[in-house]
Amino acid sequence: MIEDFFYEIVAEDKNSRARAGILHTPHGSIDTPTFMPVGTQATVKTLDQEDLQQTHSQIILGNAYHLYLRPGHELIYRAGGLHEFMNWQHPILTDSGGFQVFSLKELNSVEEQGVTFRSHLDGSTHLFSPEIVMEIEHRIGADIIMAFDECTSYPCEYQYAKQSMEMTLRWATRCKQHHEILSEERKHRPNQALFGIVQGSTFPELRIHCANELASMELPGYAIGGLAVGEPRNNMLEIVAETTPHMPLKKPRYLMGVGLPHDMVESVGLGIDMFDCVVPTRNARNGTAFTKHGRLRLKNAKHSENNQPIDETCQCKTCQNYSRSYLRHLFQTGEYLGLHLTSFHNIFFYNQIMREAREAIIAGNFKLWQNQFLSSYKDR
């Protein structure tokens, strides 16, 4: 167990796999289940760090690929690490950048050593290997760092998915080995927890094998990656349901990139503790707010004279102070404030879902709460 980093389960639901826990890190504790707003480039779009605290965000996500390219991991290190650089003294998780590198498609070359790719910024050539990614993530200094993995596209042939999963396991071993070396060299800085990532596309047997192999590595936490890449929703939930029983019970479980409200609520019931997604902020910038009844498209003309808030039961500053009519006006006129206020509401709402799920688990009525939420949430 890593000093300053451990996970404790405080309650388990008797009628599902849902659990409530506390994830302890060097920069504070996180109540789970939890949602992590995505701050890819050291910022959650349209929100500052004070906003994030007011939305009750406990942890945010950064991305090693983007931060490596700009402003550079060495610059961030010289600034005192990502926490100091962006003035966020709470937990941070950095993704390895694997998803972004493999998203470049024809711009990358995959070999056992690692991935050679061209920057989307200037076309310059770079190599990401497990060792290099660990060095980048150590310099950035997040509390939780993700192993370098290959994220396959959908659909994916079985043989390629198998080969990719096996390479992801070999890369995870290399990540762990180099992480341990780097950790010895950084004893003057806070410890970092390395999470492994379960891959295997939509093939349950590959997912189960990968999860079992990663579990034997005794890492501080585990993630399910490679989902929400175009597969049918039922397939995604099936993979989560098949995989979580093979992930260590007493370690945090993170479902990467899945972030529609009903998907998160379903996945909590399958044993997931952590989520991240760009959905709430990206949709907000396009004029869409999330509520317990589904999506609310603020640009629609029907809201032009609607003086109700987005959600009358919501306690966020947007719903307490502004009407749908005003928000629609902001989007119609291209005012930045509309993006900010809607993003604020969406992140607040996502965090509220996670708090309610946690409270229901502790109270022993999670299934009742889950069924009520899913029956109310209509826009899927």
Tell me which of 13, 95, 273, 311 is the catalytic residue. 95
- Active site includes 276? yes
Cβ neighbors of 187 (< 8 A, separation 6 or more) are none
280, 235 Cβ separation under 8 angstroms:
no
Cβ pair 91, 122 in contact under 8 A: no
Residues 6+ apart with CB under 8 A from 41: 62, 63, 66, 67, 70
Gap between the Cα atoms of 12 and 145, Å rounded: 26
State which amino acid sits at residue 356: E
Expressed in angstroms, the distance from the first to the final Cα of the chain is 40
Q: DSSP letter at 148?
A: P
Q: Which of 149, 263, 273, 276 is catalytic?
A: 276
| Residues in contact with 191: Cβ distance below 8 Å, sequence separation at least 6, in sequence order | 2, 3, 4, 5, 26, 183
- If residue 207 lies in a helix (H) or strand (E), which one and from where to where? helix 204-215
Q: What are the E-state strand segments in 79-159?
A: 92-95, 108-110, 115-118, 125-128, 144-146
| DSSP notation for 153-201 | -SS--HHHHHHHHHHHHHHHHHHHHHHHHHHHHTTTS---EEEEEE--T
Residue pair 162/112 in contact (Cβ under 8 Å)? The answer is: no
**Residues ≥6 apart with Cβ < 8 Å to 344:** 46, 47, 51, 54, 55, 316, 317, 318
Q: How far is residue 48's CA from residue 45's CA, in Å, rounded to a whole number?
A: 8
> How far is 98 from 66, CA to CA, in rounded Å?
11
Catalytic residue numbers read 95, 276
